[in-house]
């Protein structure tokens, strides 16, 4: 865990002040610009991005976080040149191959969010292996959003729910938020408390658009390959100073 909150962050401003997040989601952005700035090919930026991911997963475990979700390939990223798409697929493969044993031993449960449609056979196999191998783990949830788009996820969930209704497994009167969430890729994982985007861009780019309804958004200027533990801690400190109201009133305002 991080150190106790400083006196400035405690006081009578309510229990949210010293609350530690259950779930952090990250849009890992800026690999290309990191490489461009150094006159290097974009693929090198992505390679360094994987190193930052490794550091961040380790840091998240270190500080006692339970759920981390990272955005590594969007349904819109297919618009990039084939060579870049291939490089990104290759890096996912390399990451899983290299880190799976260690992550499995550390109690990490891996889940890949997103549609399997369009993914090549070797990636599908690897995804399956990673999920099966770590299925019983409970210490830390690592969700990798790969071939993921929030709208696609919601539509896929809606279709699955409609099918369940057609089969008589669910009635339309039972359709509420909790029932719908069972059809999302994130079922069983709490909504993110903090959503970080690196590289100074201020948008969600179709990431967790259902789940992030009340996430605290933290936009950081750092390019993803330079991201490290202190950025994660900084985001948590920013979060701790925020007051979450969920549509209610500020504490002490009533």
Catalytic residue set: 29, 77
Minimum CB separation from Mg ion for residue 189, in Å?
A: 24
Question: Which of Mg ion, ligand IPE, none is residue 205 near (CB under 5 to 8 Å by kind)?
Answer: ligand IPE
Question: Which of ligand IPE, Mg ion, none is residue 181 near (CB under 5 to 8 Å by kind)?
Answer: none
Minimum CB separation from Mg ion for residue 135, in Å?
A: 32
Residues binding ligand IPE (CB under 6 A): 27-33, 71-74, 77, 88, 199, 201, 203, 205, 224
Question: Which of Mg ion, ligand IPE, none is residue 157 near (CB under 5 to 8 Å by kind)?
Answer: none
Cβ nearer to ligand IPE, comparing 19 with 54: 54
User: How many CB atoms are closer than 10 A to CB 208?
Assistant: 26
Cβ nearer to Mg ion, comparing 29 with 99: 29
Q: Token pair of 136, please? A: 């019983």
Nearest to 214 by CA among 237, 190, 233: 190
What does residue 159 show for φ and ψ, rounded to 5 degrees?
-65, -45
Nearest to 103 by CA among 68, 148, 73, 74: 68
Q: Does 29 bind Mg ion (CB under 5 A)?
A: yes
Minimum CB separation from ligand IPE for residue 234, in Å?
A: 19
Minimum CB separation from ligand IPE for residue 61, in Å?
A: 22
Q: Does 198 bind Mg ion (CB under 5 A)?
A: no
* Residue 162: exposure state from Cβ atoms within 10 A (0-12, 13-18, ≥19): middle
* Residue 153: exposure state from Cβ atoms within 10 A (0-12, 13-18, ≥19): buried
Cβ neighbors of 137 (< 8 A, separation 6 or more) are 104, 107, 108, 109
Question: Which of Mg ion, ligand IPE, none is residue 71 near (CB under 5 to 8 Å by kind)?
Answer: ligand IPE
Helices (H), 106-226: 121-133, 150-166, 177-181
Which chain residues interact with Mg ion by CB under 5 A? 29
């Amino acid at each position: 865990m991080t150190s106790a909150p400083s006196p400035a962050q405690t006081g009578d401003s309510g229990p949210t002040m010293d609350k530690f997040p259950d779930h952090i989601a990250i849009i890992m952005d800026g690999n290309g610009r990191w490489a461009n700035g150094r006159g290097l090919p974009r693929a090198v930026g992505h390679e360094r991005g994987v190193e930052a991911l490794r550091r961040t997963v380790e840091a998240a475990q270190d500080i006692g976080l339970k759920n981390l979700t990272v955005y590594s390939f969007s349904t819109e990223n297919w618009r990039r040149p084939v060579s870049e798409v291939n490089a990104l697929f290759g890096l996912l493969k390399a990451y899983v191959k290299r880190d799976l044993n260690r992550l499995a031993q550390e109690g990490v449960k891996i889940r890949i969010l997103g549609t399997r449609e369009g993914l090549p056979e070797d990636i599908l196999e690897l995804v399956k292996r990673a999920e099966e191998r770590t299925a019983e783990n409970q210490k830390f949830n690592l969700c990798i959003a790969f071939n993921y788009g929030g709208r696609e996820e919601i539509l896929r969930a809606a279709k699955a729910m409609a099918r369940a209704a057609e089969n008589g497994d669910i009635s339309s009167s039972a359709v509420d938020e909790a029932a719908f969430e069972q059809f999302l890729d994130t079922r069983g994982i709490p909504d993110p408390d903090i959503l970080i985007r690196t590289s100074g861009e201020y948008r969600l780019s179709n990431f967790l658009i259902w789940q992030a309804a009340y996430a605290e958004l933290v936009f950081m200027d750092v390019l993803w390959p330079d991201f490290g533990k202190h950025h994660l801690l900084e985001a948590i400190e920013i979060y701790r100073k925020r007051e979450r109201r969920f549509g209610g009133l500020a504490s002490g305002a009533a």
